[in-house]
Amino acid sequence: MNGEIRDREIRVISSTGEMLGIMSPAQALRLAEEADLDLVKISPNAVPPVCKIMDYGKFKFEQAKKEKENRKNQKVVEIKEVQLSMTIDVGDINVKAKHATKFLEAGNKVKVSIRLRGRQMAHANLGKDVMMRFYEMLKEVAAIEKPIAMEGRNIIMILGPAKK
C-alpha cells in the first residue's frame, strides 16, 4: 500500500470504481494523496497489478465486519456416535434409532458403529445386516454419507441429515 508499491506500472481504479488507466505508482500515489486517501494493491498477480484508491482504515473495518457476520451465520456440524452390537434386540435398536433421529434433525451427522468381539469377526456380514436394518429405520431423515465399511474390528457408517 502507498509507498510500498514497487511495480514499474500499475492499473489504477478510483475510489468511485472508475478505471483511471495504467500509470506509474508515483502518479497514482499523488492522485490518492490529493483525494486524502490511500493507494492499495488489490490484485498483485494481475499484469499490470491492479491498485485502488480507497480509505484503507474503512476497508479493513468493513472486512472485519463481514468476517464477524460470516462466523455468526456459520453452523458447526458435530458428529454424534451411536454404537450398536451384532446381537442388538428390537427394543434397543428402536431407542438408538430415536436418538439418531434427534441428532439428525438437529443438523448433526451420526457415526454408526459396531465393535466386533471375538468370533464375531468371522460373521461380519451379520453386522452389516444390522447396519442396513438400522438405516432402513432412519431413511426418511438420513442419507448415507459414508457407506458401510470395515475398519479393523469395527463396522462403521456415517449418516447425514437427508436433503429436503
CA 87 to chain centre: 37
* Tens-digit pLDDT profile for residues 119-154: 988 988 999 999 999 999 998 999 999 999 999 999
pLDDT score of 156: 95
* Residue 131 belongs to some domain of the structure: yes
Query: What's the domain count of the chain?
Result: 2
Give the Cα separation of 96 and 134 in Å (integer): 9
* Residue 12 belongs to some domain of the structure: yes
**Cell match 490518492: residue?**
32
Residues 119 and 153 in one domain: yes
Residues 83 and 57 in one domain: no
* Residue 2 belongs to some domain of the structure: no
* Alpha helix segments (H runs only) across 16-153: 25-34, 56-73, 90-105, 124-138
* Residue 146 belongs to some domain of the structure: yes
Distances (CA, A) of 113 to 48, 130, 151: 56, 10, 10
What CATH number is given to the structural domain containing 154? 3.30.110.10
Cell triple for 104: 439428525
pLDDT score of 134: 94
pLDDT score of 31: 87
* Tens-digit pLDDT profile for residues 49-88: 898 999 888 888 988 999 998 888 877 778 999 999 999 9
* Residue 66 belongs to some domain of the structure: no
Residues 52 and 95 in one domain: no
**Domain span holding position 29:** 7-61
- CA angle 6–12–16, rounded 5-degree value: 140
Give the Cα separation of 31 and 92 in Å (integer): 75
Question: What is the signed CA dihedral for 94, 96, 97, 102, rounded to 10 degrees?
Answer: 130
User: Model-level pTM greater than 0.75?
Assistant: no
pLDDT score of 164: 67
* CB environment 53-67: b (16+ within 10 A), e (fewer): bbeeeeeeeeeeeee
What CATH number is given to the structural domain containing 36? 3.10.20.80
